[in-house]
């Protein structure tokens, strides 16, 4: 991130959308030394030398960490003669709190790794199209069931015999997986016929299997 600092320590940063800003904040704060620096500055203003002594670090190391915190607006600096005095910027901290308080932004960040985890679960339980088992952990089982549901065509109706045959291509316990597919609302049943539920399909069939 490129910034421009004046003599009083003001920082101009390029505009970023809220998600990018939050990611930069979290990455910067994922460091124990920076968190300790913020803790010390929360109590009172301190110079680089003071912070270095309290933390047992070299002044150059402390200055480097302060520069990272200053870039995201969490600390402010003012000059007292030849000494630079730092303090925590409560407005910068408030901005982070505001971003984190918006669940939709946190969800977006979480989704970044969701696909990778789902792929790992599928690698762990599916080999050459066969299931090695039915996961006991509910979230893993849901991933497997969503994958199994894709073996059925949307918009097509299946008799129970064919449903069992398709499931048994992947795992012998067709009865359990058939019930699970309906329980998770991935498939529906009515009058002995089954069909895959797409997101746009209303749930009108019975819930049992």
Q: Where is mean pLDDT largest: 24-38, 82-96, 163-177?
A: 163-177
Q: What is the pLDDT of residues 35-67, one digit of tens each?
A: 899 889 988 899 999 999 999 999 999 999 999
> In this predicted model, which residue has the larger pLDDT, 167 or 207?
167
Question: Which three-class secondary structure string do you get for the chain?
Answer: CCCEECCCCCEECCCCCHHHHHHHHHHHHCCHHHHHHHHHHHHCCEEHHHHHHHHCCCHHHHHHHHHHHHHCCCEEEEEECCEEEEEECHHHHHHHHHHHCCHHHHHHHHHHHHHHHHHHHHHHHEECCEECCCCCCHHHHHHHHHHHHCCCCECCEEEHHHHHHHHHCCCCCHHHHHHHHHHCCCEEEECCEEEECCCCCCCCCECCC
pLDDT above 90 for 206: no
C-alpha distances (whole Å) from 90 to each of 42, 67, 70, 153 are 9, 17, 12, 55
State whether the Cα torsion 107-112-115-118 is positive or negative.
negative
Specify the pTM: 0.48
CA distance 206 to 209: 8
- Nearest Cα neighbor of 14 from 99, 71, 85 is 71
What is the pLDDT of the chain when averaged over all its residues?
80
Q: Mean pLDDT, to the nearest integer, of 144-150?
A: 94
Residue ranges, CATH 1.10.10.10, the chain: 4-100
Tokens read off for 58: 């070299």
Residue 118, pLDDT score: 86
Q: What CATH number does domain 112-196 carry, 1.10.1760, 1.10.10, 3.20.20, 1.25.40?
A: 1.10.10
Q: How confident is the model at residue 7 (pLDDT cuts 50, 70, 90)?
A: very low
Residue 27, pLDDT score: 84
Q: How confident is the model at residue 186 (pLDDT cuts 50, 70, 90)?
A: very high
Residue 58, pLDDT score: 94
- How would CATH label the architecture of 4-100? Orthogonal Bundle (1.10)
Q: What is the pLDDT of residues 66-125, one digit of tens each?
A: 999 998 888 999 988 888 999 988 787 777 666 666 555 444 444 545 577 788 899 999
pLDDT above 60 for 11: no
Residue 199, pLDDT score: 62
At 10, is the secondary structure helix, strand, or coil?
A: coil
């Amino acid at each position: 991130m490129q910034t421009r600092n004046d003599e009083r320590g003001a920082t101009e940063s390029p505009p970023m959308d809220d998600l990018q800003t939050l990611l930069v904040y979290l990455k910067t704060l994922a460091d124990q030394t920076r968190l300790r620096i913020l803790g010390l500055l929360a109590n009172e203003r301190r110079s680089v030398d003071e912070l270095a002594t309290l933390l047992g670090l070299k002044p150059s190391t402390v200055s480097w960490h302060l520069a990272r915190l200053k870039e995201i607006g969490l600390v402010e600096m003012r000059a007292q003669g030849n000494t630079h005095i730092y303090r925590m910027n409560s407005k910068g901290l408030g901005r982070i709190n505001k971003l984190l308080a918006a669940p939709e932004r946190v969800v977006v960040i979480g989704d970044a790794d969701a696909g990778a985890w789902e792929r790992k679960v599928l690698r762990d339980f599916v080999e050459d199209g066969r299931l090695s088992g039915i996961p006991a952990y509910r979230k893993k089982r849901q991933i497997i069931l969503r994958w199994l549901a894709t073996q059925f065509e949307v918009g097509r109706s299946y008799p129970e015999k064919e449903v069992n045959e398709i499931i048994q291509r992947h795992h012998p316990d067709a009865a359990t997986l058939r019930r699970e597919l309906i329980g998770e609302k991935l498939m529906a049943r009515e009058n002995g016929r089954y069909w895959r539920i797409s997101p746009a399909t209303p749930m009108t069939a019975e819930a049992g299997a």
